Amino acid sequence: MSKQNKPQVTSCLSGCSQNKLIAIVGTELVQRIVAEVNEAHFFRVFAAGTQAFSHEERLAVGVRYIDVEGAVNECLLTCC
Is 56 contained in some domain?
A: yes
Question: How many CA atoms does the CB half-sphere of 32 hold within 13 Å?
Answer: 9
Q: What is the distance of C-alpha 36 from the center of its chain? A: 15
Q: pTM for the whole thing?
A: 0.63
Q: 23: domain range?
A: 14-79
Name the nearest CA neighbour of 64 among 49, 77, 50, 79. 77
Strand duo 42-51 + 57-66: pairing: antiparallel
Q: Within a 10 A sphere around the Cβ of 31, how many other Cβ atoms? A: 10
Is 23 contained in some domain?
A: yes
pLDDT digits (tens, 9 = 90+) for 51-72: 777 788 888 899 999 988 899 9
- What is the domain count for the chain? 1
pLDDT digits (tens, 9 = 90+) for 4-45: 677 776 666 677 888 888 899 989 998 998 999 999 989 999
